Amino acid sequence: MIVAKAWRGKRYAVLGLARSGAATVRALVAGGAGVVAWDSDEAKRAVFAPSPLRGEGRGEGQPSSAAPVAAPLPTLSPEGRGLVDVAPLDDLTGFDALVVSPGVPLNTHPLAAVAREAGVPVIGDIELFSQARADLPAHKVVGITGTNGKSTTTALVYHILKTAGIPTLMGGNIGLPILEQEALPGGGVYVLELSSYQIDLTQTLDCDVAVLLNITPDHLDRYDGFEGYAASKARLFAMQSAGHDAIIGIGDAPSAAIARGLSGRAEHLTKIAPGVCLFQGDWPALQGPHNAQNALAAIAVAKALGVSEVDIDRGLASFTGLPHRMQQIASYGGVAYVDDSKATNPESTAPALAAFERVHWIVGGRAKGDDLDACRPAFGHVVRAYTIGEAGPKFAKILGGSMPVEVVGTLDAAVRSAAANAKPGDTVLLSPACASFDQFRDYEARGAAFRAAVELLA
């Protein structure tokens, strides 16, 4: 577990007790901090309610139906150990920080406003990790952000470093919460996938290598327009020391503008232009033009960290990809079935359509916008579309003039129909260009349902 000496004796309010929130509470307590924690889910609260680490605040045993009261200030044991209490958070006076999960909307959540009025910083677990860096063995940090491709690029960098024998951990928006993992030995590299939400909650993370892959419209309900979203991504570089490395894809105007603003970094700035000709035949899990960009970014990171060309080549060739990201899960009768459930917006679906010659496209869910314009250049690859979920009827109207379309409604029905229509050499592709929440818990559950439906075809 990663802890910081700077937390000792301080008092933190923690909102949200899912994976990262629970890990945050444990790390803060291990570091000698006092914590009051809260989650609207009684089951998540119960994990900490009977804990021997708890303090003696007013919130003990508070039933979920009780009216909110001011959170008690957490106590500290005479031995200096941290203690945790469970209570509703209402008054934040006296706390050193409010720690929230990235899912808490800072622009609308009432507790965020309470914190601002009380002058209490609102931070996340990545900021706590940044505060702990001074107490860790000598290391480097790679931070990777972008609207699309950041999970694959993060996992690829991590894999290349492991292949090269460099101690490394992967965290942030992927894998285990970073505070829950054991600190690396000297010379290690922490590779962090960072969403815009996580960057919003971070003030001091000085990445040795910072990466921006792209910026396209997404999560606009959390920002003051597209400009606000782009500004959030730019903060990753604003937190960097000028002598540290910045790697930026310049295929879109906002990213290119950020790169121009960093032109003074000279040799510490690497720009990745779109359309670079790159042989990908030796990289089975990195097909398609978008993965060419991901690979170029990962190569630039590895070179900035001093990894040899031989180890980079070995890592690229042996990378197996990530679940739900253009993952081939089966092949029946010469027809490939590809799970790209992580493609939750049109911009992330477009590269998947372009990667295959003849596609039976399963598309739909809860739409994040009103069009599929980003996918239009690849419409010529689509043999037939099968629309599902809330967006199904609307998407059928959009696509009807460009390709045959079936409004099938459900994922299992789409798989059966696509299998009936597909010929050897075709690809049945789940790349929904939508969020999953109309029919599934998350994109992972949607991908699992796709796999289950495909396995029934065998």
CA neighbor of 236 nearest in space, from 260, 256, 209 = 209
Q: How many helices (H) and strands (E) does the chain have?
A: 14, 17
214 is catalytic: no
| Residue 259 parent element (H or E) | helix 253-261
Catalytic residue (choose from 109, 162, 219, 268)? 219
139 is catalytic: no
Supply the DSSP symbol for 194: -
291 is catalytic: no
Secondary structure (DSSP) of 98-151: EEE-TTS-TTT-HHHHHHHHHT--EE-HHHHHHHHGGGSPSEEEEEEE-SSSHH
CA distance 326 to 342: 9
Catalytic residue (choose from 10, 139, 140, 150)? 150
CA distances from 84 to 255, 354, 386, 405, 431 (A): 42, 51, 50, 55, 43
CA distance 271 to 268: 10
Binding positions are: 146-152
Binding positions for ATP are: 146-152
CA neighbor of 301 nearest in space, from 346, 328, 325, 268 = 268
Catalytic residue (choose from 44, 173, 214, 360)? 173
CB 11 within 8 A of CB 5: no
Residues marked as catalytic: 150, 173, 219
